[in-house]
Amino acid sequence: MKKVPWMIVVCEWIWRVILVNWCWFAFTVLGLGVLGFFPASAALFAVVRKWMRNDGEVIVFRTFKDAYFKEWKRTNVIGLVFYVIGFFLFIDLRIIDQFMTGFLGNFLYIFLSILVFVLLIAVSYFFAIYAHYELSNKEYIKQSFLYALTSLPSTILILIGLTIIGYLINQYPGLLAFISAVAPAFWIMRVCLSRFTALERRAQQL
């Protein structure tokens, strides 16, 4: 078989990355943002996972579209739980900020801010878990929070990676249209796959 020149391979992968990033934006908008974010992100992680499992020949648009519409209802049902939790935390923070002062007010504000942080980390884990495992809706939510609370090294790695990606996009805003979704998804999936593999090996040894 004739070997494909490396420059063509590189260009093909650049196009795939850009295309899946555009798909995420387009399908998120298609769902009017709120109803598009969870299924679009689930589809994005599904594509990224296939790449990382050496399925490089995946047809990006078709795979993304099929995953988006297949998982639209289920991911939005689960997403609604995260949205409701986030909404109540936001309201609580606003109430504390407006009406409470002193030590108790500061303590509650910090405590709720930590809960918001845990929620955001849990959402990040959710997409990786959803792409990798077949679970019930309740288990997806439960496992997302368990990973957020018990996988400190992985969480730190995720935060470091997202910070670097955010810094690069801030320094070079032109990257926003090309890697702003796929780069975080790739990094989160990579860290999580390592964590999943380690846990699965540990479970097999028991």
pLDDT confidence band for 4 (50 / 70 / 90) = low
Q: Is residue 39 part of a domain?
A: yes
Percent share of the chain, pLDDT over 70: 97
Q: Is residue 188 part of a domain?
A: yes
Q: Region 68-83: what's the mean pLDDT?
A: 97
d(CA 36, CA 23) in angstroms, rounded, equals: 11
pTM of the model: 0.93
pLDDT confidence band for 28 (50 / 70 / 90) = very high
Q: Of 51-60, 117-126, 132-141, which range is least confident?
A: 51-60
Q: Is residue 105 part of a domain?
A: yes
Q: Which amino acid is at 89?
A: L
- pLDDT for 2: 58
Q: What is the pLDDT of residues 149-196, one digit of tens each?
A: 999 999 999 999 999 999 999 999 999 999 999 999 999 999 999 999
**Domain containing residue 74:** 6-205
- SS3 per residue for the chain: CCCCCHHHHHHHHHHHHHHHHHHHHHHHHHCCCHHHHHHHHHHHHHHHHHHHCCCCCCCHHHHHHHHHHHHHHHHHHHHHHHHHHHHHHHHHHHHHHHHCCHHHHHHHHHHHHHHHHHHHHHHHHHHHHHHHCCCCHHHHHHHHHHHHHHCHHHHHHHHHHHHHHHHHHHHCHHHHHHHCCHHHHHHHHHHHHHHHHHHHHHHHHC
Q: Is residue 1 part of a domain?
A: no
* Tokens representing residue 154 in the block: 């992985």
Residues 6+ apart with CB under 8 A from 13: 56
Q: Region 5-11: what's the mean pLDDT?
A: 82
Q: Which residue has better confidence, 139 or 102?
A: 139
Residue with token string 């028991």: 206
> Rounded to 5 degrees, what are φ and ψ at 99?
-120, -10
| Total tally of structural domains belonging to the chain | 1
129, 147 contact by CB (below 8 A):
yes
Average pLDDT, the chain: 93
Q: What is the pLDDT of residues 83-98, one digit of tens each?
A: 999 999 999 999 998 8
d(CA 156, CA 163) in angstroms, rounded, equals: 10
Q: Is residue 53 part of a domain?
A: yes
Q: Is residue 69 part of a domain?
A: yes
Q: Is residue 112 part of a domain?
A: yes
